Structure 1
Amino acid sequence: MGILRFRLKMQNPGLRQFAYALSVLVTTILGFAFVISANYPGYLNGDSLYQLQEALSETYGDWHSPSITVLWSVLLDFLPGPVGFIVFDNLLIWSALAGLALALRPRLGAWSYLILFMPLLPGAFNYLGHVHTDAMLAAILLAGASLAYLAQCDWRSRRLAICLQIAANLFIAAGFLTRLNAVFCLIPLLLYANSNLGARRTILLSGAVLAVLPLIYSVQNTLLQVPNSHPGDSIKTYQLLALSYHEQENQFPGKWREEEARQIVESCYSPVQWDTASNWGQCRFISQNLRAQGLWGSRTLTESWLKAIIDHPRSYFAMLVPTFKKSMFDPNSRQMLYSADNPWGWMVQDNPPRPDTQIAQDYARSKLNDRVGRPWVFGLLSVIGLLTLFRLNLQSTKEGRFALAVLLSGLIYLITYFFFNVSAEYRYFYWCGFAAYLGLIIVILCALKTARKRPPTATRSHAERAVKLTSLVIAAFSAGMITFAFTFNLPATKRIITLTPLDEKPVSVTRIGSTATPLWMAPAFEGDTRPMTWDWIGHAYQSTSRLSPVVASLDGLRQTIEIKLETGPDNGRVAIDEVGMHRVVDTYSEQPGIQTIQLPPSPGEQRKKRRFNTGVSNTALIYVLGLLFLFLRLTRARAAQ
């Protein structure tokens, strides 16, 4: 009888609505509380520690978002250290999802409750407790998207709808102040947020918001006295360095010594990130020389960058793909479950971790989270969501249009890093994960809701056709580049190097590897090292009286190999051999030290390089056009029925 009475009560619509709202509220509070507790006081890395110092001193730079630094300085008045940052992030994320779950229920049913579990999905969970500008960007854009949908709901108060629409525009615009390169992914969100105004007014208002953003940024920096250090020139520097490698000729403007020009071509390019050429990298002379000559931030550098792209378009494309591949399939710093040392002792308790911290860290490090939570998966899910949406004609529904805007925003942001990327970092794609999951979940809910009653296939206007074609072009380009990148590999060379001691005195080698590997990720011995009878002592291989060689086999780019040998009064001679090269090095010195030997690559074969670059660009074009044709066919099939 008790169960029957409960079922009868739950048939009351008001009671069901209350129970749903209560479950949303409880789940939101529990999720928020768990994230904050498990990650307290928040993970700080080197970049966020530097930004924290700016917030504490209220001095602002443009390598990190001044807007976020100002926000953080305000939060510090209420919550010390990193905790205020992650509390604000998670307040935005969980409240935005709660608002969506409540607003979607009347139209998509109780399954809308599942949206609340989106932050726990693979990849989305990674940075909930991390102090990152990219985590803040995801929270701000998610809040803006949620407000945009709420503004489209049927409110009795017109004033409330207008307030929600204004708030949505403000949050979406704040994405630009958080990351300037996010400007492109704001376009679909702004168009959706203002879509109730009619096509012409929507375009005008959204365009006006985008146009005024650079002015707001400039005024902000003037008021905060932010020096213009031209962080965008890191992209130009990295791409000029990559083009120098591909063209085997220094592409930088200015005056360079012969040895510097040689290193630019042979010793500094890494497809992983630009750090080698930065002020803290092993080829720091590049950034330092550009600044010393007044080229950093200059029109000359920009013109040289554009000229190099125009003169070598195929090499430019071939240069973009390897960093994009690394970003998609094996990005750096996917979890970063560590805290940078700081004088305030703001560290996540890790030795031993609290029970909730252990649970969070175990999940973040799990194979499921790590393997599924990759940018290529986000791209694939976004494309699947778009194709499903158009195939079932869901873009004719309010929720379908919302999903379309979110999915396009994530895809556009993802593909932005094909063209403008200086490091294969996971954090750059954090919003892409949230956008992919949210958009796909809503598409699935829409499809289930309309499974028995499909939206009518109406005659589409020119604007609707343009939106569909543009969306499919973006989807085809994204899917094409991800698929092509998976099969892409830069031409590699196999080099075999032997080190043979020439007398009884010991020889110690501490490193054999590429000069271009970023310092923070460079192992002492790259490739396959066979020490034979050499002994591992401390941090080096040391020869023995048997006088057998060390054999190092390295597969990599056509770059200089670096060998580091210990020197001292008791050290002997060693022969270094490679095909076409023999060199004898005496490691004796009166004082202990390190001697570095550099083995340059063999001369390049320009004809093979040109053939490779031509094949790369042609094959990629075939991928994109083929997928576009397929997507057009797939999305046309349903409408024809």
Structure 2
Amino acid sequence: MSSLSSKWRAGNGPSIGMVLALLLVLVVHGALFWPGILTWDAIRQYGQALSGHYDDWHPPAMNWLWRQLRTFGAGPAPMLLLQLGLYWCGTLLWLRAAGRGRPRAALAIAVLAVSPVALVLMGTVLKDSLFAGALLLASGLIATARAGERWRRIVAAIVLVAAATLRFNAVPACLPLLVLAAPAAWRRTLPRLAMTSVLAAIPLALALPLANAALHSTRSGVELSLVIYDLGGIGRFSGTNVFPATGVADPVAVNADCYTPVSWDRYAWWGAEPCAIGFTNLRAPLKAGHGPYAWWGAAVLAHPLAYAEHRLAHFNSNTRFLVHDADLPRLSLASDPNTWGFTLAPNAARDAVAAAAQAVLQTPFGWPVCWLALGVGLLVLRPAVRTLDPAAAMAWSAVLYGFSYLPLSVASEVRYHLWTIAAVGIAAALTLPRADVRALPRWRWALAGVPLAVVALSGVVARVS
């Protein structure tokens, strides 16, 4: 591990003042959003937490955990407190990791932590918020671990594997951090780094299916959402029908009316205007014969350019790149109607935070594509593949996770990029002020800044045109 990492670990015990400040911020944050914003996804999850019967549409592990948290109270409040506890404990650890010698880095991390978008998303009960909080805690434990201090790394590894049960695309985010938790000798050479990465990927990849099996979750067909959306996109951009027969007249025209690069929701059974070709009437025919992935593979092979157009168009919306903000989903600022009557009381301070968050989403600071571009730039400045210091690991985690949505996403909501934004922000705060980085040649700084400059300027132009 680099000497810089050793400096980060120096004096890593939190002071009483920092702990008290953490508790105060947690209490204020919790009070603003009490008992937690419940979206449709969370409502379905809480229903399963109450019944004890899970399906795999949303992570059964989170539903099971929510069921255990009922000991501390009903509704979203216990899960909200868990999310906030993970988030602010992780933030405290990273503030400590920044060290007393880098006040600007610590200040930047603190400012990022209280950004309005982060406050709203962490005040919303979501698997994405729980996931981001868990990774923030795990990475903070690793960053503050002294040489030879194993317990922090072991706890971090456990948290990372647990977090991998929350998202089907968790491996890209968790892998660099789990590799960082391993002894430095395990990644001293590229062959060792490769072997360590393979070994670390195994428990991360197995975490979700094993958790689902252990909880006896029923198959919901959630994997069909991606298949159906991709088939719809391929049909839209190729002008042909690649769906199995459903008895719908003129499926090409119907699909063209249903498809949008924003999300797959028109193909789902919810919503005011579900598509005539959708999950309900495609589930059986897609599973017949060789199965849904055979349909998907055949369509991609027959129309590779149409598939690429669809994926790029959706990723453009998903990362809020060349879009108009009015066409994209807004943040959820209140609980959706639910049978238990959980809602948020009126609060002027929360309304101000929510208004600020919506305003930020209309600037480059709220566009995930800009954070991805910044992450790529940081890796140009300091990839640190072998030493994999904490800042580099955070950048790799953020970039790999963010780009995993290029082939795997079906919706465009900023919550999916909460971890990418947080991790890139921390990586930037720790990397940019460094003397060895600032001493790099100008051409490297120019190369690192090009991605961010291009996407930010292009995004502005697209919004005003």
Same fold, judged at TM 0.5 (above): yes
- Counterpart of 2:36 in structure 1 is 42
User: Of residues 320, 328, 345 in structure 1, which corresponds to 2:341?
Assistant: 345
In the alignment, the residues of structure 1 paired with residue 362 and residue 213 of structure 2 have an alpha-carbon distance, to the nearest angstrom, of 42
Deviation per residue, 1:581-615 (Å, 9 max, x gap): xxxxxxxxxxxxxxxxxxxxxxxxxxxxxxxxxxx
Q: TM-score, normalised by structure 2?
A: 0.83
Does the 8 Å contact 2:246/2:282 carry over to 1?
Answer: no
Q: TM-score, normalised by structure 1?
A: 0.62
| Aligned-pair CA distance for 1:302 | 0.6
Q: Structure 2 vs 1, CA of residues 107 and 190 (structure 1 numbering), >3 Å: closer, same or farther?
A: farther
| Aligned-pair CA distance for 1:290 | 2.1
| Aligned-pair CA distance for 1:481 | 10
| Aligned-pair CA distance for 1:227 | 0.9
- Counterpart of 1:282 in structure 2 is 274
User: Of residues 230, 242, 258 in structure 2, which corresponds to 1:268?
Assistant: 258
Matched, 1:149 2:143: yes
Matched, 1:356 2:352: no
Matched, 1:234 2:230: no
Give 1:24's aligned amino acid. M
| Partner secondary structure for residue 180 of structure 1 | coil
In the alignment, the residues of structure 1 paired with residue 45 and residue 395 of structure 2 have an alpha-carbon distance, to the nearest angstrom, of 31
Moved more, 81-90 or 262-271: 262-271
| Aligned-pair CA distance for 1:370 | 4.5
User: Of residues 428, 432, 435 in structure 2, which corresponds to 1:444?
Assistant: 432
In the alignment, the residues of structure 1 paired with residue 452 and residue 79 of structure 2 have an alpha-carbon distance, to the nearest angstrom, of 34
Q: Structure 2 vs 1, CA of residues 30 and 332 (structure 1 numbering), >3 Å: closer, same or farther?
A: farther
User: Of residues 65, 71, 86 in structure 1, which corresponds to 2:65?
Assistant: 71
- Structure 1 stretches lacking a partner, 5+ long: 1-16, 458-468, 490-641
Structure with more strand by fraction: 1
Give 2:79's aligned amino acid. F
| Aligned-pair CA distance for 1:344 | 2.4
Does the 8 Å contact 1:269/1:276 carry over to 2?
Answer: yes
In the alignment, the residues of structure 1 paired with residue 279 and residue 450 of structure 2 have an alpha-carbon distance, to the nearest angstrom, of 33
Matched, 1:30 2:3: no
In the alignment, the residues of structure 2 paired with residue 480 and residue 184 of structure 1 have an alpha-carbon distance, to the nearest angstrom, of 25
Does the 8 Å contact 1:175/1:182 carry over to 2?
Answer: yes
Q: Structure 2 vs 1, CA of residues 359 and 19 (structure 1 numbering), >3 Å: closer, same or farther?
A: farther
Larger Rg computed on CA atoms = 1
Q: Structure 2 vs 1, CA of residues 20 and 93 (structure 1 numbering), >3 Å: closer, same or farther?
A: closer
User: Of residues 256, 274, 278 in structure 1, which corresponds to 2:246?
Assistant: 256
Does the 8 Å contact 1:279/1:288 carry over to 2?
Answer: yes
In the alignment, the residues of structure 1 paired with residue 291 and residue 373 of structure 2 have an alpha-carbon distance, to the nearest angstrom, of 40
- Counterpart of 1:177 in structure 2 is 165
Q: Structure 2 vs 1, CA of residues 405 and 244 (structure 1 numbering), >3 Å: closer, same or farther?
A: same
Superposition map of 1:94-173 within 5 A: 94-105=88-99, 108=102, 112=106, 114-151=108-145, 153-154=146-147, 158=148, 161-173=149-161
Q: Structure 2 vs 1, CA of residues 225 and 198 (structure 1 numbering), >3 Å: closer, same or farther?
A: closer
- Structure 2 stretches lacking a partner, 5+ long: 1-10
Give 2:110's aligned amino acid. L
Matched, 1:324 2:320: no
- Counterpart of 1:424 in structure 2 is 412
In the alignment, the residues of structure 2 paired with residue 376 and residue 413 of structure 1 have an alpha-carbon distance, to the nearest angstrom, of 12
| Aligned-pair CA distance for 1:284 | 4.7
In the alignment, the residues of structure 1 paired with residue 246 and residue 12 of structure 2 have an alpha-carbon distance, to the nearest angstrom, of 72
| Aligned-pair CA distance for 1:132 | 0.7
In the alignment, the residues of structure 2 paired with residue 110 and residue 483 of structure 1 have an alpha-carbon distance, to the nearest angstrom, of 24
Q: Which one has more relative contact order, counting CA pairs under 8 Å at least 6 apart?
A: 2
Q: Structure 2 vs 1, CA of residues 44 and 316 (structure 1 numbering), >3 Å: closer, same or farther?
A: same
- Counterpart of 1:600 in structure 2 is none
Matched, 1:193 2:181: yes
Deviation per residue, 1:520-559 (Å, 9 max, x gap): xxxxxxxxxxxxxxxxxxxxxxxxxxxxxxxxxxxxxxxx
Give 2:299's aligned amino acid. A
Does the 8 Å contact 1:122/1:370 carry over to 2?
Answer: no
In the alignment, the residues of structure 1 paired with residue 457 and residue 59 of structure 2 have an alpha-carbon distance, to the nearest angstrom, of 33
- Counterpart of 2:378 in structure 1 is 385
RMSD: 3.5
Superposition map of 1:233-632 within 5 A: 233-253=224-244, 255-257=245-247, 259=249, 261-280=251-270, 281-293=273-285, 295-296=286-287, 299-329=290-320, 330=325, 332-350=328-346, 353=347, 355-365=348-358, 367-368=359-360, 370-371=362-363, 372-389=365-382, 395=384, 401-447=389-435
| Aligned-pair CA distance for 1:362 | 3.7
| Aligned-pair CA distance for 1:219 | 3.3
Moved more, 107-116 or 92-101: 107-116
Deviation per residue, 1:364-420 (Å, 9 max, x gap): 34x246422221232233234334436xxxx4997x721111112111111111111
Structure with more helix by fraction: 2
Q: Structure 2 vs 1, CA of residues 131 and 258 (structure 1 numbering), >3 Å: closer, same or farther?
A: closer
